[in-house]
Amino acid sequence: MVKSDQYDVIVMGIGSMGLSAAYYLSRAGLKVLGLERFSICNDQASHSGETRLIRRSYFEHPDYVPLLDVAYRNWQSLERISHERLFYKTGLYYLGDRNNPVISGVRESAGLYDIHVEEKQYIGLNPGVAKDSFYEPEAGYLDVQASFEVLKELTLNQGADLQENEEVLGWEQKEDGFEVVTDKGAYHANKIVITVGAWVNRLVDIEIDLVTTRQVLAWFGCNDDQFDIPCWCLDHPEGKGIYYGFSRSESGFKIGHHFTGEVVDPNQMDRQVSNEEVQELQSVLLDMFPDKDFRLKKTATCIYTNSPDEHFILDFVPDTQERVVVATGFSGHGYKFVPAVGEIISDMITKATTSHPIDFLSLKRFD
């Protein structure tokens, strides 16, 4: 079937950032089409695994903190509008040695932006695992499935068209805007947003070396039914990188390893999780809580799209007269920013600028 429709803006890739962009763009009154090659909320891309950490004291770069204020405000507003719970404020422990990047970065951004963190022991934790620990009471986790459901419903109610199972094959600048070709037809729009995550290189050449990696998650049950913990983030004492975990959910205790995993083609990634990978994650939990027993419940795989400096890319595509926005390279820490990124993309499309501080996310930093 050939379709030919005119839109104000087409959003390519209705994953984490694309759905949020479609929501804020349609809220601004634009005629929006969103195109997603899989289903909206799928297990093939970068948002699988049920939950995502959200925290304010940012060791990755203190410039994210003002954007986190926007994100926290917008998550709250989405909860208010939808009457659904998206954010679970469990608190979060940062664990490690005070000279390691996690702990020193937390202290730096907490001091710089007056974020409340407490130097506090994690009760029940094996003291050999971490010399120092800081607790951020305002941190916690987001429910990914619920967030997608809420944003999708609100976006559709605002009149946007969201097409699932439709793959964008390419796009071309024409005299009067853009033509977007999919495996089902063609559409026209005045402006374009590219939020295809790990597949960005297939749709636009931004001349940045983005590396897509396979990451693994696992959920464990515990022999102690009463046992629960706040979320945590551990700078591993043997230099193995950062491990992180969540409070108990229906699926169990979720744990992941934040590091650059095996470099993969996102279309051909191995979705099986090996026994060795499970044992590595299980051993971290057993080291942390040696008096407990943890048994595997389930596993998942997910993709990181890493930029060279592991900071996001959020900018206009060069030579498109500020009519094409690209948002990618979220490098394993983007989800908490979803409603901030959506609002900023909407600013960029409707006003060709934004008042939010995103210079540090520009393409020109790689020149």
Binding site for ligand FAD (CB under 6 A): 12-13, 15-18, 35-38, 42, 44-47, 49, 52-53, 167-168, 195-197, 199, 203, 215, 217, 256, 302-304, 328, 330, 332-336
Per-residue b/e over 183-197, b at no fewer than 16 CB within 10 Å?
Answer: eeebbbbbbbbbbbb
Instruction: Round to whole Å and give the CA distance between 132 and 120.
Output: 8
State the CB neighbour count (10 A cutoff) for residue 257: 20
Q: Which residue has the tokens 């379709």?
A: 3
Choice between 155 and 195, CB closer to ligand FAD = 195
* Minimum distance of ligand FAD from residue 66's CB (angstroms): 16
Choice between 131 and 315, CB closer to ligand FAD = 315
* Minimum distance of ligand FAD from residue 359's CB (angstroms): 20
Angle at 145 between CA 160 and CA 51, to 5 degrees: 135
Instruction: Round to whole Å and give the CA distance between 317 and 341.
Output: 16
* Minimum distance of ligand FAD from residue 36's CB (angstroms): 5
Check residue 75 and give left, alpha or beta (phi > 0: left; psi -120 to 50: alpha): alpha
* Minimum distance of ligand FAD from residue 73's CB (angstroms): 16
Amino acid at 179: E
Straight-line distance from the first to the last Cα atom of the chain, in angstroms, rounded to the nearest whole number: 43
Choice between 131 and 296, CB closer to ligand FAD = 296
Amino acid at 5: D
* Minimum distance of ligand FAD from residue 93's CB (angstroms): 14
Choice between 197 and 252, CB closer to ligand FAD = 197
Choice between 37 and 356, CB closer to ligand FAD = 37
**Residue in 254, 179, 182 with CA at minimum distance from that of residue 218:** 254
Choice between 131 and 248, CB closer to ligand FAD = 248
Choice between 67 and 303, CB closer to ligand FAD = 303
- Residue closest to ligand FAD, measured at CB: 15
State the CB neighbour count (10 A cutoff) for residue 143: 18
* Minimum distance of ligand FAD from residue 226's CB (angstroms): 26
Instruction: Round to whole Å and give the CA distance between 33 and 17.
Output: 14
* Minimum distance of ligand FAD from residue 21's CB (angstroms): 9
